Amino acid sequence: MMKKTDEDFISFLDVLDATLTQYEAVWSTNPVFSAQVAKFRKYYAAIKATAEKAKIITKGATEDKDDATLAVCELARDLSQRASIYALENINMETHIQLRVSRGSLLQLADEDLSVRLWDIYNRMVGFGEVLAPYVTPEELEQFKTLIEKYDKLIPRPRGLAIERKIHNDTLPTLKKEIRKVRYKMDSLISFFNGTEFAQAYRNARRMVRSSSRKPKKTDEKKNQNT
């Protein structure tokens, strides 16, 4: 999620850009001011794009992984318990115990540990060969493999999206710093248009951000009272 201060800053840029667009016929006649507007719009476009990417939501990816986890764990439970009966009747108790798992025990495992356990169950069942078919069919084993592979692909996704969102959030301060430099120059050059409706509209937009960007702290108020 974006910070409230960043949202307010972008809202101000929206107003300023709208003002520049409305009065373009006025300022475009001045090459010095026009050069700064070009820079402003370059950084403005970059800030808008970065802000949009900073809103990346990881919830959907997490829900996808949760669904895949539940599906593969439920199938692992069903198949492994059937295979464990084959092991109990034809091999030994140790193999029976190694194969028999519950959905709850699987869901308690960390991402990578669960993947290892699922592949272990799958490989043990495949190792039995065709004799396992009356308990677990080849089609069920193939379905189980597909679900494991799907789960493995989803493990890094929520984490990756969170990292991507952080990168965009970290980029925003740099862009804000650059556009503030341009805005400072535009503020200094607006006197080119003194007496025009554009100059008044520009200054009104600037007053809006000054009044909303910072509320004085108590310590600041005391300083103001003493000066």
More reliable by pLDDT, 122 or 164: 122
Alpha carbon distance 225, 227 (integer Å): 6
Alpha carbon distance 203, 206 (integer Å): 5
**pLDDT for 167:** 47
Q: Are residues 83 and 148 in the same domain?
A: yes
Cα–Cα distances in Å, from 210 out to 71, 194, 196? 54, 20, 22
Is the per-residue pLDDT at 8 higher than 50? yes
**pLDDT for 199:** 95
Q: Are residues 205 and 192 in the same domain?
A: yes
User: Does some domain include residue 160?
Assistant: no
**pLDDT for 27:** 96
Is the per-residue pLDDT at 62 higher than 80? no
Q: Are residues 107 and 176 in the same domain?
A: no
Domain count for the chain: 2
Alpha carbon distance 158, 62 (integer Å): 6
User: Does some domain include residue 72?
Assistant: yes
Q: Using 50, 70 and 90 to split pLDDT, how confident is the model at 223?
A: very low
Q: Are residues 109 and 135 in the same domain?
A: yes
Cα Rg, the chain, nearest whole Å: 31
What is the rounded average pLDDT of the residues 28-45?
94
User: Does some domain include residue 185?
Assistant: yes
Buried b (16+ CB within 10 A) or exposed e, 195-222: eeebbebbeebbeebeeeeeeeeeeeee
Its domain, for residue 209, covers 4-55+165-226
Q: Using 50, 70 and 90 to split pLDDT, how confident is the model at 212?
A: very low
